Chains A and B, each alone.
Chain A
């Protein structure tokens, strides 16, 4: 335990020592073409959206983190990719650690990242908190989180996922096809086939890869 704490402290100290780069007001236009880290994040997210998770095997967005927000987002993406590759949420920490250890440039910081990633993704955080945390500025995490909950196969988490996703749908804030696939799965499990089919229809509309729209 004390070893883990020392890793976390060392990692935080290292991150705190990094000078934050200046903001890039011209946003995506300049940054995506000029900053390798940003381009890598965008590439990873595009692959994730298209369900090309196998292409992401062993490809962690641990990059040279430009700042904490990018680091946190990369952790989120890593976690979402792992879940979509079928990893069980309750084992994701251990599995991730094993995969990270096998990566060619393994390090203690990466191990800490993996731990933090799992710890941060608890299912009880409020939706708007997740949205507005800055580090998860896309709805991807929400979908991933709901999928995690749905996949947990526990009654109280299933109800929580249904509540979260129906709220998103009611407010027209469903982030992506995965969210609709998750909602369809939840409806399926609670015995509502018409609602499931409607969710799948929406899922197919929201993706270039209709094959993603299946029960989890």
Chain B
């Protein structure tokens, strides 16, 4: 009977999975890419994947946006004081770019970015997470998102860069965009327009999603940049980039500036280092509140309480098979994570790849290294795609572990 029930549950789960990956009305142009999108659950964060939206319980950004807007979740009404507290805690994954209009991007850059993401949007706390995509899979996705073959790069006339710089500042591009090494983003109100008022866009989201334009020359198909600047919604209907009122000639000049402006070298961001262990006692409540419940348990949660979905770091998701790691309580984290051999291992013992620190500390340190453009080989940075845990909080956790993990 038990086996029959298990089988029934598997069938039901498979049915749910099929529903979750059901694609929208238009047939997918690239079935292999769509399968990858479904496997890596791109639609949990992004619109415009071509997949049917997942249920709200799986929509990271959609759920946060729903809460921020004060709309009810499927589970029922939320008490106003609870909602206010949650809203105050929502710092990451409140916005994500849609994947529509990706054909304006260079395919090779997309493939690299998908495989080894970099922080592209300075105003967005979260960045594209490092998934388990192979380079081949990243190539398949990139080809799907940007199917056109490369075209000849445009040649700009003399003086275009200088004219473009003036237009760039006049149009107020720097109100939303950083252009590292060329023009910093300025704080202040929305820029004035050249010819007409900007369409009304949510300013905070526009700033959050605005990429650093220093990356544009590697990221954008150069022959399409002027058209993009002239009329962004024509290329990407859901973009928050407004029509700036640039004429075609002005758009070409701004494109010339963005693609060719000299970039001053910017010192690499230091990754920082572990801080010495604290001498004072560190209670569990302190590391729970500062680390585990501030970040970790969103993806490493209790699968039983959550009806089977313990998050990508526990039961799996975003392409991860799941490590069975539940960081929600003192006891649950003591059971460790599931290693590649299927056996449980402590997260507080050193990993083979980082023998001088506890495994969980190594993952937190690795995230600092990732943000600084380096890697800790064999260790995936955590929290996945989110800002690193501050060194002071890592120090707290490090010290608590060294003190024997007192309750």
Residues of chain A at the chain B interface (Cβ within 8 Å): 8-9, 12, 15-16, 20-35, 38, 41-42, 45, 49, 66-70, 73, 127-128, 131-132, 134-135, 137-140, 171-177, 202, 205-208
Contact partners of B331 in chain A: CB under 8 A: 45, 49, 138-140, 175-176
**B298 within 8 A of partner (CB):** yes
B346 near A173 with CB under 8 A, answer yes
For the complex, give the distance between the alpha carbons of A70 and B330 in Å: 19
Contact partners of A208 in chain B: CB under 8 A: 407
- What are 20 A-B residue pairs whose CB atoms fall within 8 Å in the complex? A12-B1, A20-B307, A23-B309, A27-B310, A28-B328, A32-B305, A45-B329, A66-B307, A67-B308, A69-B303, A69-B307, A70-B307, A131-B324, A134-B304, A137-B302, A137-B303, A138-B329, A138-B331, A139-B332, A172-B348
A26 near B63 with CB under 8 A, answer yes
For the complex, give the distance between the alpha carbons of A41 and B404 in Å: 27
Residues of chain B at the chain A interface (Cβ within 8 Å): 1, 5, 8-9, 12, 44, 55, 57-58, 60, 63, 73-76, 78, 82, 86, 297-299, 301-311, 317, 324, 326, 328-332, 334-336, 338, 342-346, 348-349, 404-407
Instruction: Tell whether A137 pairs with B346 under 8 Å between CB atoms, given A29-B297, A41-B304.
Output: no
A23 near B407 with CB under 8 A, answer no
Which listed residue, A24, A29, A42, A127, touches B309 by the CB 8 Å rule? A24
A171 near B344 with CB under 8 A, answer yes
A138 near B332 with CB under 8 A, answer yes
Instruction: Kindly list 18 other residue pairs between chains A and B, CB separation below 8 angstroms, not including A25-B309, A134-B308.
Output: A22-B55, A23-B306, A24-B307, A26-B63, A27-B302, A27-B306, A32-B305, A41-B304, A42-B305, A45-B329, A67-B307, A69-B307, A128-B342, A172-B348, A175-B334, A176-B331, A177-B407, A205-B404
Contact partners of B82 in chain A: CB under 8 A: 33
In the complex, residue of chain B having the shortest beta-carbon distance to the beta carbon of A13: B1
Prevailing SS type, chain A contact patch: helix
A23 near B304 with CB under 8 A, answer no
A173 near B336 with CB under 8 A, answer yes
Instruction: Tell whether A22 pairs with B74 under 8 Å between CB atoms, given A174-B334, A205-B404.
Output: yes
Contact partners of B311 in chain A: CB under 8 A: 25, 27
For the complex, give the distance between the alpha carbons of A67 and B303 in Å: 11
B304 near A132 with CB under 8 A, answer no
Which listed residue, B306, B329, B349, touches A31 by the CB 8 Å rule? B306
Instruction: Tell whether A27 pairs with B298 under 8 Å between CB atoms, given A138-B326, A171-B344, A177-B407.
Output: yes
A70 near B304 with CB under 8 A, answer yes
A29 near B298 with CB under 8 A, answer yes
In the complex, residue of chain A having the shortest beta-carbon distance to the beta carbon of B74: A22
Contact partners of A35 in chain B: CB under 8 A: 75, 305
For the complex, give the distance between the alpha carbons of A6 and B331 in Å: 37
In the complex, residue of chain A having the shortest beta-carbon distance to the beta carbon of B297: A28
A131 near B335 with CB under 8 A, answer yes
B305 near A38 with CB under 8 A, answer yes
A205 near B307 with CB under 8 A, answer no
A25 near B57 with CB under 8 A, answer yes
Which listed residue, B9, B73, B329, B404, touches A20 by the CB 8 Å rule? B9
Instruction: Tell whether A173 pairs with B344 under 8 Å between CB atoms, given A30-B75, A137-B302.
Output: yes
CB distance from A146 to the nearest CB of B (A): 14
In the complex, residue of chain A having the shortest beta-carbon distance to the beta carbon of B79: A33
Which listed residue, A21, A32, A38, A139, touches B334 by the CB 8 Å rule? A139
Max count, chain B CB within 10 A of own CB: residue among A23, A138, A202:
A23
